[in-house]
Structure 1
Amino acid sequence: MIRVVLPVHLRTLAGAGKEVRVSVDGPVTQRGVLDAVERDFPMLRGTIRDRETGRRRPLVRFFACEEDLSNEPPDAPLPSRVASGEEPYLVVGAMAGG
């Protein structure tokens, strides 16, 4: 099971706790993890990624193992510690403004 940490506003929308666990079919990639999150929590479709393009929303960032993965290709394998469930995959709502 892949551990995914969601920001508070998405937790509220999903009716979930701080961390959700999803099963990924096939290689553990960002696309696979987000597909699984949207499959298990359909109310989150379109909140993390654009429904039409599948691209990350502008103020959403992805982290794992202390690395920013936001600009990595969606089909690149995630770190083995995420795939094993040892470390979580973090979906973070970025701050903007000045």
Structure 2
Amino acid sequence: MNSEAAPQSAGEARDVRVRLPYHLRHLARLDSETVVRVAGPVTQRSVLDALEERYPALGGTIRDHTTGRRRAYLRFFACEEDISHEPPDDELPGPVVSGAEPFMVVGAMAGG
């Protein structure tokens, strides 16, 4: 994943597009995707930190309050690739960092 990341300077802030599933958009009172400002490296962790800071109602809904781990039945995508199991501090791909592509939180399906 790092090979595709755009180089960033330490204090540089980026606007990152984020798409959420309906239930989380409803909780955050959003009609569509949102943009969050991320200072420093753009990683899963930094994007989710910025998202929870801007929309406090989302705190604990995407990541567990105690462990910080992704909640079951949620997946993370960047550039149409599932990055749910990538380390949370790896930089996201350049198109996400530049705002050309969104960071997506997607509700997973289960059942039989």
TM-score tier, shorter chain, comes to over 0.9
Once the 2 structures are TM-superposed, how far is the Cα of residue 31 of structure 1 from its aligned partner? 0.2
The 5 Å alignment of 1:1-98 reads 1-98=15-112
Q: Note the residue ranges of structure 2 that are not aligned, 5 or more in a row.
A: 1-14
AA aligned opposite 2:22: V
Residue pair 1:3, 1:19 contacting (<8 A) in 2 also = yes
SS of the equivalent of 1:46 reads: coil
**Structure 1-normalised TM-score?**
0.98
How many residues are aligned here? 98
Residue pair 1:30, 1:75 contacting (<8 A) in 2 also = yes
1:24-65 CA deviation, whole Å, 9 max, x = no partner?
Answer: 011000000000000000000000000001000011000010
SS of the equivalent of 2:95 reads: helix
AA aligned opposite 1:32: S
The share of aligned pairs that are identical, in percent, is 64
Point out the structure with max Rg over C-alpha: 2
Runs of 4+ in 1 over 4 A off after TM superposition: none
AA aligned opposite 2:82: D
SS of the equivalent of 1:23 reads: strand
Residue pair 1:2, 1:83 contacting (<8 A) in 2 also = yes
Once the 2 structures are TM-superposed, how far is the Cα of residue 17 of structure 1 from its aligned partner? 2.0
Residue pair 1:7, 1:18 contacting (<8 A) in 2 also = no
Question: Over aligned residues, Cα RMSD in angstroms?
Answer: 0.5
